[in-house]
Amino acid sequence: MLDEHNGYQRKIKNRDELAVEVGARPRQRSVIMCHGTFDLVHPGHIRHMMYAKNKADILVVSLTSDDHISKANFRPFVPQELRAMNLAMLEVVDYVLIDENPTPLENIRFLQPDYYAKGYEYVDGGLHPKTQEEVDVLKGYGGELILTPGDVVYSSSAIIDRAPPDLAVEKLHLLMESEGITFDDLKKTVSSFDSTQIHVIGDTIVDSYTYCSMISSGATKTPTVSLKYDRQVDFVGGAAIVAKHARTAGAKVKFSTVLGEDNLKDFVLEDLQTHGIECCHVIDPTRPTTQKNVFVQGPYRVLKVDKVDNSEITERILDSLKQHIAASEGVDAFVFSDFRHGIFTHVTIPQLTGILPEGPLKVADSQVASRWGNILEFQDFDLITPNEREARFSLGDQDSVIRPLALKLYEQARCKTLILKLGERGIITYRAPNSDVRSFLTIDSFTNQVVDTMGTGDALLAYSTLGLIASKSPVVASIIGTMAAAIACEHEGNIAVDPELVIEKLDTVERRLQFA
């Protein structure tokens, strides 16, 4: 791991500290300033900075803060603290400044560098309007624009898109360090879940895997694939696996759901009873227990057949669910796990959320694959954990890049914490901002090898909820939820994640950090 006392930290200054270091104009030692995103420092950046350093005594490099980067999706790839460290480690750079403003204009005015360096590409065919604004500020106090050679133009975004480097461990370390969180803290939190109690409400799904062998690729007259049945494996899924994740993690769990009057109902109840979950189920004889059956041939999923009735639950069933909620005592959180198979609609959600007592956390997830669901119907919750598709649907926004999209959802949901799931790219979390912490954070995925993505969001929902209860920290909850999701991805089928595997995953990441 990088020795943090090797001197690079002394180069990273805020603007008041930097003003003292470089002094006011006229100064004995000349100052030149560069500015950029520097998501990845590439050869073009190096040549730009080396040329600039030859023109003055002191080179100040400022970088755009994470809050103001929205030029491409999933950017910045590298968080501002790590970008600042990368620049500070360069011998040619004297000082680094993280610019908290949307443009460098304010800091140019404040620091008044003697020179400001830009690449030739910014003036090719005339000054870019933003460059003109910078020139106007420079002229205002007597500064000068210097153009650096631009015979080869590199793009950080293009490099990242082609071959993104694996910085997951380094980025996590920076986040934990800035929040004062250690790996021991995380592991102690995971080990403390046996003192928590939650009530999960939501749609039960039986996830079935029917394994087959290929007989033929098609009949002579019709394009019919012929498969030989080998075996079927059933898993309790949907909101029921959220309950199982939480129970396996150590929590005491109450689960309210709706089941049909059929054999699958018996399978679900037996499985939940075996795992020690208090199941407060309501039987609806008019609908089947929801089943989603995937037919698998070799490495391929050739067909999926759903047995489902998505009609809204009756008043009788709704009243029963409300009674279950009202009868819950001593719970730390109510978790609404929405798959839009009848329990949650625009009619029932206000009635179910409206009777939640003060005190316990309110948590919601809207994991909608083939149905439409709106996470914004769960207003003023403590935690919501939708994925990108669900967020875009709820906002009617197909175009915004991820960070502004997440901020918009966070604001409109009026939630305290938002964990937006980004699949293989990890998560972005928004939390209530204050003067001590940043409003958002990102965590990369820690999946070693993707085997089956089914149930990943359920694992994150359960473990992040328990993490938030135990630690009161959205950061701790986000990290633990991410690790649980990674483990779920590494196993086939909807299997409850063991907390020992989460601790083992944290141990592995900690060891990787020691050798980074």
10-residue averages of pLDDT along the chain (516 residues):
58 91 92 88 81 92 84 70 87 91 92 88 64 89 84 50 65 88 96 97 95 73 80 94 97 97 96 96 96 91 91 96 94 96 94 95 85 88 94 90 90 96 92 74 89 87 98 96 94 90 94 73
**Mean pLDDT over each residue of the chain, to the nearest integer:** 88
Q: Residue 361 corresponds to which tokens in the numbers above?
A: 């956390």
Please tell me the predicted confidence (pLDDT) of residue 487: 95
Tell me how far apart the alpha carbons of residues 278 and 198 are, in angstroms, rounded to a whole number. Answer: 11
DSSP letter, residue 240? H
Amino acid at 239: A
Closest of 269, 207, 266, 262 to residue 232, by C-alpha? 207
β-sheet with 252-259: strand ranges across? 278-283, 252-259, 197-202, 333-338, 361-366, 383-384, 417-421, 427-431, 440-443
Contact indicator for 397, 420 with CB cutoff of 8 Å: no
pLDDT tens, position by position, 380-402: 999 999 999 999 999 999 888 88
Please tell me the predicted confidence (pLDDT) of residue 457: 93
Closest of 107, 171, 97, 169 to residue 134, by C-alpha? 107
Q: How many CA atoms lie within 13 A of 115 on its CB side?
A: 19
Tell me how far apart the alpha carbons of residues 278 and 415 are, in angstroms, rounded to a whole number. Answer: 28
Domains defined along the chain, listed by start: 8-161 (3.40.50.620), 173-514 (3.40.1190.20)
Closest of 388, 321, 482, 363 to residue 73, by C-alpha? 388
- Measured CA to CA in angstroms, residue 225 lies from 245, 307, 388 at distances of 37, 21, 34
Q: Which residue has the tokens 């400022």?
A: 62
Tell me how far apart the alpha carbons of residues 240 and 245 are, in angstroms, rounded to a whole number. Answer: 9
Please tell me the predicted confidence (pLDDT) of residue 334: 98
The count of residues in the chain is 516
**Residue 243: count of CB within 10 angstroms of its CB:** 33
Contact indicator for 337, 461 with CB cutoff of 8 Å: yes
Please tell me the predicted confidence (pLDDT) of residue 3: 45
Q: Which residue has the tokens 């979390």?
A: 429
Contact indicator for 365, 390 with CB cutoff of 8 Å: no
Please tell me the predicted confidence (pLDDT) of residue 357: 94
Strand-strand pairing, 115-119 and 144-148? parallel
pTM of the complete model beyond 0.75: yes
Please tell me the predicted confidence (pLDDT) of residue 234: 93
pLDDT tens, position by position, 244-300: 999 999 999 999 999 999 999 999 999 999 999 999 999 999 999 999 999 999 888
Amino acid at 440: F
